[in-house]
A and B are shown apart, each in its own frame.
Chain A
Amino acid sequence: MSRSIRIWLPLAVLLAFGLWWLAAIRLLPLADWPALPFRPDGMSLQQILLAFGLMPRGVIALLAGAALGLSGAILQAVLRNPVADPTTLGISSGAQLTLVLATIIAPGLLEAGRWPVAMTGAGLAAGLVLLIGAQRAFAPVTMVIAGMLVGMTASAIATAVTLAQGQYLLSLVIWNGGALVQQDWSGVRSLALVLVLGGLGAALLARPLRVLSLGAEGAAGLGMNVALVRLAAAALAVWIAACVSAELGLIAFVGLAAPALVRTMGARGIGPLLALSPLVGALILSVCDGLVLTVAGATGEMFPTGALTGLIGGPLLIWLLPRLRGSTPPGTERAEGPAPHLARPRHVLLGLLMLLIAAALVLVWIGRVPGGWTVLDWASFNAFLPLRLPRLIAAASAGAALALAGALLQRLTANPLASPEVLGVSGGASLGYAAIAFALTAPTAAALSTGAMTGAALSLALVAAFVSHRDMPAERVLLAGIAVSALASSVLLAIMATGSPQAWMILAWLSGSSSAIGMSGALPLLALALAVWGIAMAMRRWLATLPLGAGVAGGLGLPLRLARLSLIGLAGIATGAATMLVGPLSFVGLMAPHLARRIGLARAADHVTGAALIGAILMLTADFGARMAGFPYELPLGLFASLIGAPWLIWLMTRSRT
Chain B
Amino acid sequence: MTDTLFGIENMTVEVPTRRLLDDITLLLPAGQVIALIGHNGSGKSTLLKVLARQIPATGRITFEQRELRDWASRDYARRLAFLPQTTPPAEGMTVRELVALGRYPWHGALGRFGPADHAAVARALQECGVADFADRLVDTLSGGERQRAWLAMMIAQEAGTLLLDEPISALDIAHQVEVLALVRRMCHAQNRSAVIVLHEVNMAARFCDHIVALKGGRLAMQGSPADLMRPEALQAIYGLPMQVLTRPDGQPVAIPA
Binding site for B on A (CB under 8 A): 332, 338-341, 538-539, 541-542, 544-545, 547-549, 551-552, 554-559, 597, 602-603
Contacts and interface: CB of A to CB of B under 8 A. Distances in A.
B88 A551 contact: yes
B75 interface: yes
Contacts of B35: none
B102 interface: yes
Interface of B: 52-54, 72-78, 81-84, 87-94, 97, 101-102, 104-105, 107-110, 137, 139-140, 157
B112 to A, nearest CB: 12
A603 B97 CA distance: 8
A557 B90 contact: no
A3 to B, nearest CB: 12
Contact of B84 (A340, A541, A555): A555
Contacts of A544: 93, 97, 101
A545 B104 contact: yes
Return the 6 tightest CB-CB contacts between A and B, nearest first: A557-B77, A602-B92, A557-B74, A555-B82, A557-B105, A332-B89
Given A338-B137, A338-B140, A557 B91 contact: no
Given A551-B88, A555-B52, A341 B157 contact: no
Contacts of A551: 54, 82, 84, 88
B105 A556 contact: yes
B13 to A, nearest CB: 14
B81 A555 contact: yes
A557 B76 contact: yes
Contact of B73 (A338, A341, A541, A558): A558
A554 B53 contact: yes
Given A339-B92, A552-B84, A558 B137 contact: no
Nearest to A601: B92
B73 A557 contact: yes
A340 B53 CA distance: 35
A556 B77 contact: yes
A552 B54 contact: no
Contacts, number: 78
A557 B82 CA distance: 10
Given A554-B73, A555-B54, A549 B88 contact: yes
A556 B105 CA distance: 6
A559 B108 CA distance: 10
Given A552-B84, A555-B82, A555-B84, A545 B101 contact: yes
Q: From A339, A545, A556, name the one whose CB has the most chain B CB atoms within 10 angstroms.
A: A556
Contacts of A603: 92, 97
Contacts of B107: 541
A548 to B, nearest CB: 5
B59 to A, nearest CB: 19
A609 to B, nearest CB: 15
A332 B93 CA distance: 14
Q: From B91, B97, B110, name the one whose CB has the most chain A CB atoms within 10 angstroms.
A: B91
Q: From B92, B107, B108, name the one whose CB has the most chain A CB atoms within 10 angstroms.
A: B92
Contacts of B89: 332
Contacts of B76: 557
A552 B88 contact: yes
A502 B94 CA distance: 53
12 contacts: A338-B91, A338-B92, A340-B92, A539-B109, A541-B107, A545-B101, A551-B84, A556-B77, A556-B101, A556-B104, A558-B104, A559-B74
A538 B101 contact: no
Contact of A548 (B78, B88, B109, B110): B88
A558 B101 CA distance: 11
A606 to B, nearest CB: 10
B27 to A, nearest CB: 23
B41 to A, nearest CB: 18
Contacts of A538: 109-110
A552 B151 CA distance: 12
Contacts of B74: 557, 559
Contacts of A554: 53-54, 73
Nearest to A545: B101
Given A552-B84, A557-B74, A341 B92 contact: yes
